[in-house]
């Protein structure tokens, strides 16, 4: 088994090794428990070691190689990308649960033909939401955003569960932002402010995707200008104010406004029984930014007592 810890010369080395061999690229993230478990399984599980013997597997640390992460459109960790001997992507998957599931994935996809066509054929025949999700993931990974948007619109699972709709919506907004068409997620945010349910299904995923793209482009003013007008007395969705405040926190502009929205998000989440550690963290980070030490310490105590979170690590 050949292992490569690739840093700045990643592209050069990867091109060299994939020129003659099918390969697997494993993208991991620092601090991601599942990334560490996947890598540990590969080096310690006898069945995985035996299967990978003589095969090329390349590790990419996302914090050391952000340009490679962007090139391959990786948005979750760990991610596994399968390449043929020409360096063409044939499949991708993400996550880690059990060693045997990872082994099954590697055996099914290593040095195999491109699997996208088979999924598309099955989707058109059965119109299954899971097939739509899988096909969209493959298209997004290859940068085929327009095809992903068209596919999702054609086969959108209207009668599926809210969780499945939420997952598909997230991919739709990701494809739209890949096309730099921000009207689709912005319209979703506007139309979902009627209820908590519609917000969870479409508004929050749209807000998340806009935030993700903005963290890359750093066009925070555009993000804030686009959603700021939706903050009103009629809008009582805590998740909206959480995301808006978080954007102010990252943009490092208008701290008073950002802090105000953090407190509003916390209050709305509290009265709606939606208060989780994220709201405590956001308020704690604002108090830290503004130098409000006593309030910061009090929130850190609550995070430790209620959620068993040691904030000294953050």
Distances (CA, A) of 59 to 24, 83, 146: 9, 14, 30
What is the CB-side half-sphere exposure of residue 38 using CA atoms within 13 A? Answer: 28
Q: What span, in angstroms and rounded, lies between the C-alpha atoms of 14 and 289?
A: 41
Asked, for residue 66, whether it belongs to a domain, the answer is yes
CATH number, residue 7: 3.40.30.10
Q: What span, in angstroms and rounded, lies between the C-alpha atoms of 91 and 138?
A: 7
Is 91 strand, coil or helix?
strand
Summarised one tens digit per residue, pLDDT across range 179-219 is 999 999 999 999 999 888 899 999 999 999 999 999 888 89
pTM of the model: 0.86
Asked, for residue 11, whether it belongs to a domain, the answer is yes
Asked, for residue 168, whether it belongs to a domain, the answer is no
Per the structure, the count of domains in the chain is 1
Asked, for residue 297, whether it belongs to a domain, the answer is no
Domain containing residue 49: 2-109
Residue 151 near residue 135, CB atoms below 8 Å: yes
Model pLDDT, residue 233: 84
Summarised one tens digit per residue, pLDDT across range 5-52 is 444 345 545 544 444 689 999 999 998 999 999 999 999 999 999 999
Asked, for residue 209, whether it belongs to a domain, the answer is no
Asked, for residue 17, whether it belongs to a domain, the answer is yes
Among candidates 92, 140, 134, 136, which has minimal Cα distance to 112? 92
């Amino acid at each position: 088994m050949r292992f490569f810890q690739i840093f700045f010369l990643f592209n050069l080395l990867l091109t060299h090794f994939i020129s003659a061999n099918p390969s697997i690229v494993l993208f991991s993230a620092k601090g991601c428990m599942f990334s560490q478990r996947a890598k540990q399984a590969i080096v310690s599980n006898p069945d995985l070691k035996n299967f990978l013997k003589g095969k090329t597997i390349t590790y990419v640390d996302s914090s050391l190689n952000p340009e490679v992460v962007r090139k391959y459109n990786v948005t979750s960790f760990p991610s596994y990308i399968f390449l043929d001997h020409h360096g063409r992507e044939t499949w991708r998957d993400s996550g880690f649960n059990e060693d045997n599931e990872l082994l099954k994935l590697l055996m099914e996809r290593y040095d195999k033909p491109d699997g996208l066509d088979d999924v598309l054929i099955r989707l058109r025949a059965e119109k299954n939401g899971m097939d739509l999700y899988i096909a969209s993931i493959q298209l997004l990974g290859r940068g085929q955003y327009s095809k992903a948007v068209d596919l999702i619109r054609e086969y959108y699972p209207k009668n599926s569960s809210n969780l499945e709709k939420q997952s598909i919506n997230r991919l739709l907004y990701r494809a739209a932002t890949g096309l730099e068409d921000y009207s689709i997620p912005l319209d979703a945010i506007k139309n979902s402010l009627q209820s908590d349910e519609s917000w969870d299904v479409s508004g929050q995923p749209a807000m998340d995707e806009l935030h993700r793209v903005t963290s890359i482009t750093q066009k925070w003013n555009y993000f804030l200008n686009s959603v700021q007008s939706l903050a009103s007395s009629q809008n009582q969705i805590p998740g909206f104010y959480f995301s808006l405040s978080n954007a102010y926190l990252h943009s490092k502009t208008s701290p008073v406004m950002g802090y105000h929205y953090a407190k509003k998000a916390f209050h709305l989440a509290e009265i709606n029984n939606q208060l989780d550690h994220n709201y405590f963290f956001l308020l704690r980070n604002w108090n830290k930014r503004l130098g409000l030490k006593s309030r910061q310490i009090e929130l850190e105590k609550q995070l430790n007592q209620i959620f068993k979170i040691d904030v000294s690590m953050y």
